[in-house]
Copies of this chain bind each other. A is one copy, B any other.
Amino acid sequence: MAKKAWGGRFKKSTSKIAEKFSESISFDKRLYKEDIKGSIAHVTMLADQKIILKKESNKIIKALKEIEKEIEKEKFKFKEEYEDIHLNIEKRLIEKIGEIGGKIHTARSRNDQVLVDTKLYIRSEINEIIDLINELSKQFVNQAEMNLDTILPLYTHMQRGQPVLLSHHLLAYYEMLKRDNERFSDCLRRVNINPLGCGAGSGTSFPIDRDKTTKLLGFKEASKNSIDTVSDRDFIAEFIFCCSSLMMHLSRLAEEFVLWSSKEFDFIDLGDEFTTGSSIMPQKRNPDMAELTRGKIARVYGNLNSILTLMKGLPLSYNRDMQEDKEPLFDTVDTVKGCLELNTEMLKTAKFKAENMEKALSGGFITATDIADYLAKKGMPFRNAHEVSGKIVAYAEKKNKELEELTLDELQKFSDLIKKDVLDVIKVKGSVESKISYGGTSSKNVKKMITLAKKELSKQAKN
């Protein structure tokens, strides 16, 4: 068994079972790039501050870059007995360049490393996720633009309500995703704070320059309180919450895709590439990818639950419990990115079945509200107008007619206020186009929003 970095005063070595129980190298090796990046910045600063010699730092940096390549080429042997990525790299460093390698740990602690690695990692992943969200957003805008003539019922309580443009419906997801992006950006501001230089929790007596590492690593500023810094895992919880919110939106989309793929709705064709068959029922075409997207929300909610449970009631400052923050974090990142990529591709090839959506508009007296609004505009108090409209629906139902099929004469029997212009109002297309209020479903509005969305997306792309 290898000697531990902290083993000086211990009489017995760690038991094998404890070593296995407590190692993190099996999952934190994923942070090797960030660990090396953080070490290089640290060592550069140490030399600048004359805490170590320039030639020492050069030697260390050169060796660290070699180690990075060894890992990338899968030639690096990770050892469980060295516990974590930080010590695995340090051990290899000393192996390569001798005891001078030990200078890398001057004026820093593992707490520093854990935090700088995790923050660099999340920062990079947030940026990737924002890009992936924009890709998906783009598909919603594309599909909205391509389906400007398609009308479907807006469902409330899973019942057909008012007619809306499919484009308007798709842009609702654009808005959700925009909020998600905002949340990730806000989270990023809190992630992007330099923890390096807090030592084991009290700071350090070495004349380090935290502004220097802040700059080298692209952080916005250095953290202000060393105890808070090593105790803090807020940024992981917030990140996983942002992911939960995003997954919640994707689960709603997935639910609609599953519903719309059913024979009963038959509103969408997700394409052979994104559906599967049954091993026993040859006629099936299953929206598995949508179902899995819906199911994968469970992992991310679970991970949020984990990180919050983990941090409940922990006294300051570092407690080993906190090592359990990594796996929910990594699993969340993988799940979210996988779902975004998949859904972008799936949406790209999805075909919306306009004719079936249109069929769903009939039989539900879907413009009844428009009659009520029509009457209210002519001066009838809304509650009365609502009642008259109800009676017209009852009449149409009895006559087995659509509202559009009623004649002006028939309609006028219910109120003197009804004039010829009602005939536009009760048409589905007329109803849609009448919704001119800002944010409403009229095609004029929707086109404006598409233009705006495209502008926003191209601005995002430039950032």
Contacts and interface: CB of A to CB of B under 8 A. Distances in A.
B183 A320 contact: no
A interface SS class: helix
A45 to B, nearest CB: 11
A463 B17 CA distance: 28
A321 B292 contact: yes
A119 to B, nearest CB: 14
5 contacts: A14-B276, A21-B338, A22-B292, A237-B244, A283-B366
A368 interface: yes
A313 B313 contact: yes
Contacts of A223: 175, 439
B162 A281 contact: yes
Contacts of A303: 302
Interface in A410-463: 425, 431-432, 434-442, 445, 449, 452
A232 to B, nearest CB: 7
A309 B301 contact: yes
A203 B436 contact: yes
A38 interface: no
A383 B158 contact: no
A298 B310 contact: yes
A384 B102 contact: yes
Nearest to A14: B273
Nearest to A370: B205
A154 to B, nearest CB: 5
Nearest to A232: B176
A99 to B, nearest CB: 5
Interface in A80-134: 87, 94, 99-107, 109-110
A233 to B, nearest CB: 9
Given A21-B342, A99-B384, A313 B294 contact: yes
Contacts of A316: 154-155, 169, 172, 252, 256
Contacts of A373: 107, 204-206
A198 B291 contact: no
A12 interface: yes
A282 B372 contact: yes
Contacts of A382: 102-106
B324 A295 contact: yes
A223 to B, nearest CB: 6
A225 B186 contact: no
Given A251-B313, A305-B301, A263 B321 contact: no
Interface stretch (A29-37, A67-75, A389-397): A389-397
Given A248-B308, A312-B251, A284 B183 contact: no
Interface residues of A, number: 195
Nearest to A301: B309
Nearest to A309: B298
Contact of A327 (B169, B285, B299): B299
Contacts of A360: 263-264
A272 B19 CA distance: 12
A5 B387 CA distance: 9
A217 to B, nearest CB: 15
A271 B276 CA distance: 38
A251 B314 CA distance: 8
B301 A312 contact: yes
A283 B6 contact: no
B199 A6 contact: no
A163 B202 contact: yes
Interface string A313-326: 11111111111100
A438 B223 CA distance: 8
A347 B417 CA distance: 44
A228 interface: yes
A100 B379 CA distance: 10
